[in-house]
Amino acid sequence: MKPTLLVLAAGMGSRYGGLKQMDGLGPSGETIIDYSIYDAINAGFGKVVYIVREYFLDQFKESVKQKYSHLVCPDGSPLQFDFVTQELDRIPAGFTLNPERQKPWGTAHAVLMAKDVIHEPFVVINGDDFYGRDSFRIAADWCRAHEGGSGVYAIVGFEVDNTLSESGGVSRGICHYDECGHLTTVVEHHNVLIEPDGVLRGDNSVTSERVELRPKDLCSMNMWCFTPDYITNSEAIFADFLKENINELKKEFYIPYAVDIMIHNGTAACDVLSTSSRWFGVTFKEDRPGVVAKFAELVAAGVYPSPLY
């Protein structure tokens, strides 16, 4: 069984100032998604599904065709691709979209768009985040071990000190889990950084207190492993979400929200997997030089070839 990689690439890049999904950051113009696909192929993934917006679908498809049409999996079979779009009006029957809403419905809504093209265990990632080869290996192994399963999902947790920014404090969801390694909750912390005394701290969003964090605490970077039943389960949760929020202009339906409800109503359990990979990404244009430098370092160290393909 070859798992599928679901790439969330529908973000409009308003804070970045352009389509960051297509911004060349590697030494030979590679995008962050290019590196994710390279690592996914080597980990044994067999298909890539992109979630995009309709307005840049054709441009994105052409870019993928030019870059990846020749790629094959380790067993010699061609790497498969599919594309689905996330639009505001893609909501269940019986609900009427507020005409003033412009903001997308969020990551869990984006995953729902892939219902008709995913029928095997799959991994969700952000298109503008670099996750590293170890994380893809761990995720692929989990998917292969859960072929045909249901009711158990997984989150790939990154050591928080491997996700910090050189530009200042960041927001990170710290994973809490039980003695069986099952996720119990994710607690958001803001302004996470190493302070002048050398101690890692962040503002706990629940208690509003500034607390000390352990460098090896695991945090969520939105890398999830699911069996196909997740989509059906989250559809029902989305309908309930809309009953409360259909007229809201900015509320979003996020993956952690859907998973949290499933955990607490007994629908599913969620394994917490640990990776040693170092994460980095681009949110603002100011992040770009640092990411370009990191890819140059990885190529110089022989971790990746240049060009990738």
> What pLDDT is attached to residue 111?
97
Alpha-carbon distances, residue 260 vs 156, 197, 270 (angstroms): 15, 35, 9
> What pLDDT is attached to residue 16?
41
Q: pTM for the whole thing?
A: 0.93
Q: Indicate whether 243 pLDDT > 90.
A: yes
Higher-pLDDT residue of 134, 167: 134
> What pLDDT is attached to residue 165?
85
Q: Indicate whether 107 pLDDT > 80.
A: yes
State both tokens at 224: 């999830």
Query: Where are the alpha helices (H) located in 44-106, listed in sequence order?
Result: 57-68
| % residues pLDDT > 90 (the chain) | 76
Q: Indicate whether 11 pLDDT > 80.
A: no
Alpha-carbon distances, residue 189 vs 4, 90, 202 (angstroms): 31, 32, 5
Q: Residues 49-101: pLDDT tens digits?
A: 999 988 888 888 888 888 888 888 888 899 999 999 998 899 999 999 999 99
Pairing of strands 129-130, 122-126: unpaired
Q: Which CATH number is associated with domain 4-300?
A: 3.90.550.10
Distance of alpha carbon 273 from alpha carbon 107, whole angstroms: 20
Q: Please report which confidence band the pLDDT of residue 12 belongs to, taking 50, 70 and 90 as the band edges.
A: very low
Q: Is 123 helix (H, G, I), strand (E, B) or coil?
A: strand
Domain range summary for the chain, segments of one domain joined by +:
4-300
Given a contact cutoff of 8 angstroms between Cβ atoms, the answer to whether 71 and 79 are in contact is yes
Higher-pLDDT residue of 41, 18: 41
80 forms beta bridges with: 47
Q: Please report which confidence band the pLDDT of residue 285 belongs to, taking 50, 70 and 90 as the band edges.
A: confident
Given a contact cutoff of 8 angstroms between Cβ atoms, the answer to whether 115 and 102 are in contact is no
Mean residue pLDDT across the chain = 92
